[in-house]
């Protein structure tokens, strides 16, 4: 079988992880690395692949089948446009763009070229999310009414000292972390049509928020609340509960989402399911039937690379499209705006355009 040749642009934190999964893939192979930094030399040598200083050099000398763009956010749109113009499939890291306006420009170009672009919301490939969506779709929870979520963790001083942009406008946990949560919430409950938010920077005193309380309204009528904090010594985050990234300690007694319907609720990722056995049993004075939904865990980044290979070969449509990436960014932008203004921000008119 011929393997799909994948080049990775940006050999930084997440780019190295993409290189690793491409190298161990049964269907893809790492063909090259693109990064102007001298620090990329060692990982490229270790992988035994050529290193190019720019996408233009890669395209001129060593055209791959697909490109992973794991570069700084400001490069996402210009580099994706360069790949689209060259007719290459792209796995573009999140966020799709630094601003909705730039993401809209990418959407136009991708549509016009009928381009194959997968946005790197890798949790969309998580078996936990697949199983949770399956439970919701099965109707076992009844009609969904509420979702409660959290991404509360403590980022150490070095995290900000190593990359000062993380505590400057353009950084902050809304743009860095919440966009992943938004995609998960959209997978579970559908489109978000309105948001409210309180943000605080009182603990770190940085230019960006450290803690945010968010209210969400979904098109389906479901209401949601979400707590986000990068200064809370608390394990209620995907990273510390999903067991999907061994870099993080994991706590089997904590969840980061609870999805509640008229007949039951599901806690994610422990997958504890509480349902009323019969419609007549629905009362807070009666006990739930309690179970744990079984699932086979697997690394979503590995699964994402396999999916990207299929997208490159034209065997699959991107599971996370440019439209999805744009919709996620619209929600995070609206949350920033809601926190600044104190107003309710409605997204209904353009959330799925």
Q: What does the angle CA 215 – CA 221 – CA 224 come to, to the nearest 5 degrees?
A: 25
| 129 CB-contact burial (10 Å; exposed 0-12 / middle 13-18 / buried 19+) | buried
**Closest distance between ligand NAD and the C-beta of residue 265, in Å?**
27
**Closest distance between ligand NAD and the C-beta of residue 122, in Å?**
5
**Closest distance between ligand NAD and the C-beta of residue 159, in Å?**
11
Based on CB atoms, which residue is closest to ligand NAD, 10 or 264? 10
Strands 144-152 and 257-261: antiparallel
Q: Do the Cβ atoms of 332 and 52 come closer than 8 Å?
A: no
Based on CB atoms, which residue is closest to ligand NAD, 34 or 135? 34
Residues 6+ apart with CB under 8 A from 204: 160, 167, 210, 231
Query: How crowded is the C-beta side of 252, counted as CA atoms within 13 Å?
Result: 1
Sign, CA dihedral 305-308-312-314, equals positive
**Closest distance between ligand NAD and the C-beta of residue 221, in Å?**
31
Residue nearest to ligand NAD (CB): 12
Based on CB atoms, which residue is closest to ligand NAD, 34 or 336? 34
Based on CB atoms, which residue is closest to ligand NAD, 1 or 247? 247
Strands 264-268 and 272-275: antiparallel
Based on CB atoms, which residue is closest to ligand NAD, 165 or 288? 165
The residue ranges that bind ligand NAD (CB under 6 A) are 9-15, 34-37, 40, 70-73, 75, 93-94, 120, 122
**Two tokens, residue 251:** 């706590």
């Amino acid at each position: 079988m011929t393997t799909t040749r994948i080049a990775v642009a940006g050999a930084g934190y997440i780019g190295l992880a993409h290189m690793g999964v491409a190298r161990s893939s049964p269907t893809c192979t790492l063909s090259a690395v693109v990064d102007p930094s001298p620090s990329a030399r060692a990982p490229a040598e270790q992988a035994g692949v050529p290193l190019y200083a720019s996408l233009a050099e890669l395209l001129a000398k060593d055209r791959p089948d697909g490109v992973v763009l794991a570069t700084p956010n400001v490069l996402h749109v210009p580099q994706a446009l360069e790949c689209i113009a060259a007719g290459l499939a792209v796995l573009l890291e999140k966020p799709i763009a630094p601003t909705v306006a730039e993401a809209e420009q990418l959407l136009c170009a991708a549509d016009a070229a009928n381009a194959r672009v997968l946005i790197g919301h890798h949790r969309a490939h998580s078996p936990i999310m697949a199983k949770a969506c399956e439970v919701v779709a099965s109707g076992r929870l009844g009609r969904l009414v509420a979702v409660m979520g959290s991404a509360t963790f403590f980022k150490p001083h070095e995290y900000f000292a190593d990359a000062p942009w993380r505590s400057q406008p353009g950084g902050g946990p809304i743009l860095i972390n919440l966009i992943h949560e938004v995609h998960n919430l959209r997978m579970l409950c559908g489109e978000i049509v309105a948001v409210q938010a309180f943000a605080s920077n009182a603990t770190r005193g940085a230019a960006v928020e450290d803690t945010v309380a968010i209210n969400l309204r979904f098109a389906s009528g479901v209401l949601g609340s979400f707590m986000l904090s990068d200064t809370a010594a608390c394990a209620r985050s995907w990273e510390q509960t999903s067991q999907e990234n061994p870099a993080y300690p994991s706590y089997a007694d904590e969840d980061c989402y609870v999805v509640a319907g008229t007949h039951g609720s599901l806690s994610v990722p422990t997958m504890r399911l509480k349902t009323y056995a019969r419609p007549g049993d629905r009362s807070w004075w009666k006990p739930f039937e309690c179970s744990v939904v079984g699932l086979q865990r697997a690394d979503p980044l590995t699964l994402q690379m396999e999916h990207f290979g299929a997208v490159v070969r034209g065997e699959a449509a991107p599971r996370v499209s440019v439209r999805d990436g744009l919709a996620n960014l619209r929600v995070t932008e609206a949350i920033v705006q809601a926190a600044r203004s104190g107003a309710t921000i409605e997204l209904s008119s353009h959330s799925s355009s």
